[in-house]
Amino acid sequence: MATVFSGVQPSGDFHLGNYLGAFRNWVAAQHDNDAYFCVVDLHALTLEIDPAELRRRTLESAVLLLAVGLDPEVVTLFVQSHVPEHTRLAWLLECTASYGELSRMTQFKEKSAGSESVRAGLFTYPVLMAADILLYQVDEVPVGDDQRQHLELTRDLAIRFNRRYGETFRVPRASIPAVGARVMDLQHPESKMSKSVDSPLGTVRILDEPAVIERKIKRAVTDPGTTVEHDRERKPGVSNLLELLSAATGVPPAEVAARYHAYGPLKQDVADAVVAMLSPVRQRAAELQSDLGEVERILAAGAARAHEVASATYARAAEAVGLLP
Ligand code: TRP
């Protein structure tokens, strides 16, 4: 069994792109891997965030991961700050990483551009991410394109640490998301559906009410002409709808396309399929929200399990660099 680790930002605002591109695959693979899912609350502190908001979103993110179907008996679901070894190992790795290589991180450059005050934690963010991963002797990290450079850094740090201090960490590899559906914005089908883009009508949130989902899909931008074809270049809007229907039903997009001769019926079926796919998730989320004590117990049990592995790795790393036991 491969050990897999995923970090989830406590954004709370998860959408259809997260569901089809990531969460659904994690759930499908949960029995085949030894999987860790970590809500990375410490990473959220690298940018300005209201404390009450951070608390709310951290818990909400855990609720959502459970609602999509991750089984806490099968996977280890926990909150990053509950396992103190993450920050402890981050320090050892900060003393392994160089200022120069962190300066080259493109996400740091993007996130810091234009701000007059940049938190030091934003600069060392990728090192904390490396600690997240290396603590669990991970084989695979399913990441999107935007995290590839951070994963390369993680590998470099593991290799450098092992060479300098002796074999301590398993060197992880990035795993390419399995046929990850690439869900595009419903209003701007040339760009990916994303929480950071201000497109409320273009983004279907996982917990949107069915009527809201239906309205957003019915208002989706289509393309000139009236024919239903799967052609990303010429018909990005329609192709996105076809791919959504395909992702929700398992029928290939071209085959789906052949069944429609007008946009209206296609939109109706996409809306119905997406609502049907997400309603069990909404229902489970509502149940969990009405019993947050249970969610907290699940997170505490997850942290205890994570801590067993993390503390063993940390102890090895600390001893390797010469800290007194
Ligand atoms: N940086 C990741 C993101 O923004 C989140 C993250 C933190 C992560 N630690 C991780 C992802 C460890 C994978 C593994 O999405």
Q: Each residue of 106-141: pLDDT tens digit?
A: 999 999 998 889 999 999 999 999 999 999 999 999
Sites in the chain below the pLDDT cut of 50:
none
Residue 92 Cβ < 6 Å to ligand 1: no
**Does residue 218 carry a catalytic annotation?**
no
How many angstroms separate the alpha carbon of residue 268 from the centre of ligand 1?
36
User: Is the distance from the beta carbon of residue 7 to the nearest atom of ligand 1 less than 6 Å?
Assistant: yes
Q: Single out the residue of 125, 147, 127 nearest to residue 135, CA to CA.
A: 127
What is the C-alpha to C-alpha distance for residues 60 and 93, in angstroms, rounded to an integer? 30
Q: How far apart are CA 170 and CA 217, in angstroms?
A: 44
Per-residue DSSP letter, 47:
S
Select which of 109, 192, 216, 218 is catalytic: 192
Active site residue 235: no
CB of 6 shorter than 6 A to ligand 1: yes
Task: Report pLDDT digits (tens) over 187-232.
Answer: 999 999 987 778 889 999 999 999 999 999 999 999 888 899 999 9
pLDDT at 12: 75
CA atoms within 13 A on the CB side of 15: 22
Ligand 1 centre distance from Cα of residue 195 (Å): 16
The yes-or-no answer on residue 192 being catalytic is yes
Task: Locate the ligand 1 atom nearest the alpha carbon of residue 5 and give its number.
Answer: 14
CA distance 161 to 87: 17
* CB of residue 14 inside a 6 A radius of ligand 1: no
Ligand 1 atom nearest to CA at 126: 1
CB of 43 within 6 A of ligand 1: the answer is: yes
Report how far ligand 1's centroid is from the alpha carbon of 130 (Å).
9
- Give the Cα separation of 325 and 311 in Å (integer): 13
Task: Ligand 1 pocket test: pick from 42, 43, 148, 153 the residue with the most ligand atoms within 8 Å of its Cβ.
Answer: 43
- Which three-class secondary structure state does DSSP give residue 175? strand
CB 134 within 8 A of CB 320: no
Give the pLDDT confidence score for residue 180 in this predicted structure.
57
- Is the whole-model pTM more than 0.85? yes
Which one-letter DSSP state was computed for residue 149?
H
Tell whether ligand 1 has an atom less than 6 A from the beta carbon of residue 143: yes
Identified catalytic residue from 195, 216, 235, 267: 195
Six token digits for residue 237: 């809007």
33-39 β-sheet, strand order: 76-79, 33-39, 2-8, 140-142, 173-175
The protein residue with its alpha carbon nearest to ligand 1, atom 11, reads: 7
CA 21 to chain centre: 9
Strand pairing category for 140-142 and 173-175: parallel
| Whether the CB of 128 sits within 6 Å of ligand 1 | no
